[in-house]
Chain A
Amino acid sequence: MATREAAPPQPLRLRATRRRWGEDFVKVGLALCAFVSVATTVGIVVALFEPAFEFFREVSIVDFLTGRDWAPLFEPPSFGVLPLIAGTLLVTACACLVCIPFGLGSAIYLSEYAQPRTRRILKPALEVLAGIPTVVYGYFALTFVAPLLQDIGLPVGLFSALAAGLVMGVMLLPTVASVSEDSMAAVPRDLRDGAYALGSTRVQVATRIVVPAAISGIIASFILAISRAVGETMIVLIAAGGQPNWSWNPLEAVQTMTAFIAATGQGDVPTGSVEYKTIFAVGATLFVMTFAMNLLSIRLVRRFREVYE
């Protein structure tokens, strides 16, 4: 009996039989949309650093980064950026005083203590704080918090780093709470159950199991909040004052990098003048600081996603 040889299976051809130009056209169009984001980044870098380099041709970069006197409009001018950085860090520190402990506390409550139904109401309600325009927070710092600080006996004026920082801290509270809560929610139930089975209390589970397990996401939320605090403009422009200040005293008025940029950029500064270029030099400093923090926090968030999801 003759056996028939089975023909070897033909590989399936999955390619389209003819090229569809319309499909290619669509793909190119969508890629062009995506290209806008790349162009934005390139645009930001060019817009900031090209004038900044010109600025550093006229002003020594060492003087810029180490000088303690910021007076670009004086004669002779002085371009030490440290007072602006000090003002920025001071306001940021005041903001962290609020948003880090209370943001983390809110996150622990939402993730470990609240009933699912309560969480469904509380979480979006807390997010409302993040949706309020910053100019409104500025108004609030100036008309409510500054007088309140005076009423409780602190020797603050109408403008202070403290008032601006505290309000900014409340604004950033949902940022810390929601990113931290996400990373705590990613911690597997088994870890909690194991700890409870060993007789742990709720506090112990929250502080010794969940927080350490979610630590990369929690730290990412802190870094993100600090980066936002450094880059925030309107609250400090309205409520922190406009005087560069190297005293490190939160009760005094300070000027931050962002407030300087906004105050100088809103006027009719002649293009090409040194004053015009200071906007870009300070802007580049601000961009480098926030860029480093953002990359770090993106990387940390990716890590907790990789570990548990």
Chain B
Amino acid sequence: MSTHTSPLGSGRPRGLWAGRLFGGFLVVSLLIGFLTLGALLAQVLLDGYKWVDPVLFFEPPSADPLIAGARPAILATIYIGILLILFTVPLGVGTALYLEEYADRDRWYNRLLEVNIQNLAAVPSIVYGILGLAFLVRGLGLGRVLLAGAMILTLLVLPTVIIAAREAIRAVPDSIRQAAYALGATKWQVVWRQVLPAATPGIATGSILSLSRGLGETAPLLLVGALTYVSFNPTLLGDFTALPVQIYQWVARPQEEFRTLAASAIIVLLAILLALNAFAIWLRNHYERRW
């Protein structure tokens, strides 16, 4: 019997089992993420669904879990969301435009600015809370108010908005700018009438995703004092609590009923964030242009 000897060795698939084992490990890796996500959602839904009711939406918190609701917290989270959009979008887009359209990349201060923003995006959120405690609450004497909370969350999500806006602006092809210049447009006319409209879908998507990150933050709000008992509707310059903080307060109590209450508030929070994310994805798929 003649055998063909290949220069690559025998045809026996060496390492077949190693390959299968490795493939199995990869699939398990992915499954761990998805199984945990499934378990988390199941746990929250099964624990909390029965108390997602009018009481939760329309009643203030109370020491008695049976009549306790999250109205002030839900309202405060909505107010904070509106303030966040008002504060972060102009600041974030302005910074992104400066970096992409105006800044000279070779200057050291512009490079420093870039590294600074990247680093800010990775600063622990509790550190922003300390900043708020030292400057806004105590330093400026603003007190533990909703505005202070919204301002500190603005600083927290600003780097992500900047990074998203920069990517959207960079995706606008240069030929559009050159064409506008050729027609005699000034720099600002090019930016305002050509670049920004073209980048708007990308900026909007990034901003909404950052907003949903900001609305889920708890730690910095604890330090700016959102952990008070609030039974009235929030005002800009009054005491406040936000939905994630309310959830933390309920989780931290030893009684079973408050854990259930926390689960139902988590369902509301996740529903808000899911809606925001779905909207952002819809925006991207619907309006984003490929050049």
- Give the interface of A toward B (CB within 8 A): 16, 20, 22-23, 26-27, 29-34, 36-38, 40-41, 43-44, 47-48, 51, 98, 101-106, 108-110, 113, 122, 125-126, 128-129, 131-140, 142-144, 167, 170, 173-174, 177, 199, 201-204, 206-207, 224, 227-228, 230-234, 237-238, 258, 261-262, 265-266, 271, 279-280, 283, 286-287, 290-291, 294-295, 297-298
A277–B106 CA distance with the chains assembled, in angstroms: 41
Chain A min CB distance to B107 (Å): 12
From A144, which residue of chain B is reached at the shortest CB distance? B43
Q: Are A173 and B134 in touch, CB under 8 angstroms?
A: no
Q: Are B127 and A174 in touch, CB under 8 angstroms?
A: no
Q: Are B130 and A280 in touch, CB under 8 angstroms?
A: yes
B residues 245-284 near A (Cβ < 8 Å) are 247-248, 251-252, 259, 262-263, 266, 269-270, 273, 277
**B123 touches A (CB below 8 Å):** yes
Chain B min CB distance to A32 (Å): 8
**B113 touches A (CB below 8 Å):** yes
From B224, which residue of chain A is reached at the shortest CB distance? A265
User: Mostly helix, strand, loop or mixed at chain B's interface?
Assistant: helix
A233 contact from B97, B119, B124, B263, Cβ within 8 A: B124
- B-chain residues with CB within 8 Å of residue A135 when the two chains form the complex: 216, 218, 244, 247-248, 251, 266
B residues 21-79 near A (Cβ < 8 Å) are 22-23, 25-30, 32-34, 36-37, 39-40, 43-44, 47
Chain A min CB distance to B165 (Å): 11
**B94 touches A (CB below 8 Å):** yes
Interface string of B1-33 (1 = CB under 8 A from A): 000000011000111001100110111111011
Q: Are B29 and A102 in touch, CB under 8 angstroms?
A: yes
- B-chain residues with CB within 8 Å of residue A109 when the two chains form the complex: 26-27, 29-30
Q: Are A170 and B32 in touch, CB under 8 angstroms?
A: yes
Of B154-162, B171-179, B199-207, B232-240, which binds chain A?
B154-162
Give the tally of cross-chain contacts (CB within 8 A). 256
- A-chain residues with CB within 8 Å of residue B32 when the two chains form the complex: 98, 102, 170, 173
Q: Are B30 and A106 in touch, CB under 8 angstroms?
A: yes
Q: Known contacts A41-B120, A233-B219, A298-B118; decide if A238 and B30 are in contact (CB<8 Å).
A: no
Q: Are A231 and B125 in touch, CB under 8 angstroms?
A: yes
Q: Are A139 and B127 in touch, CB under 8 angstroms?
A: no
Q: Are A234 and B26 in touch, CB under 8 angstroms?
A: no
A202–B20 CA distance with the chains assembled, in angstroms: 10
A231–B219 CA distance with the chains assembled, in angstroms: 11
Q: Are B102 and A203 in touch, CB under 8 angstroms?
A: no
Q: Are A47 and B134 in touch, CB under 8 angstroms?
A: yes
Q: Are A136 and B270 in touch, CB under 8 angstroms?
A: yes
A203 contact from B9, B18, B97, B120, Cβ within 8 A: B18
Q: Are B99 and A265 in touch, CB under 8 angstroms?
A: no
A96–B15 CA distance with the chains assembled, in angstroms: 29
- B-chain residues with CB within 8 Å of residue A106 when the two chains form the complex: 26, 29-30, 33
B119 contact from A36, A113, A294, Cβ within 8 A: A294
Chain A min CB distance to B196 (Å): 12
From A290, which residue of chain B is reached at the shortest CB distance? B124
A225–B277 CA distance with the chains assembled, in angstroms: 23
Q: Are A36 and B91 in touch, CB under 8 angstroms?
A: yes
A80–B212 CA distance with the chains assembled, in angstroms: 38
- B-chain residues with CB within 8 Å of residue A207 when the two chains form the complex: 22
Q: Known contacts A170-B36, A201-B19; decide if A47 and B131 are in contact (CB<8 Å).
A: yes
B95 contact from A30, A104, A262, A295, Cβ within 8 A: A30
Q: Are A37 and B135 in touch, CB under 8 angstroms?
A: no
Q: Known contacts A33-B98, A34-B98; decide if A133 and B30 are in contact (CB<8 Å).
A: no
- A-chain residues with CB within 8 Å of residue B217 when the two chains form the complex: 133-134
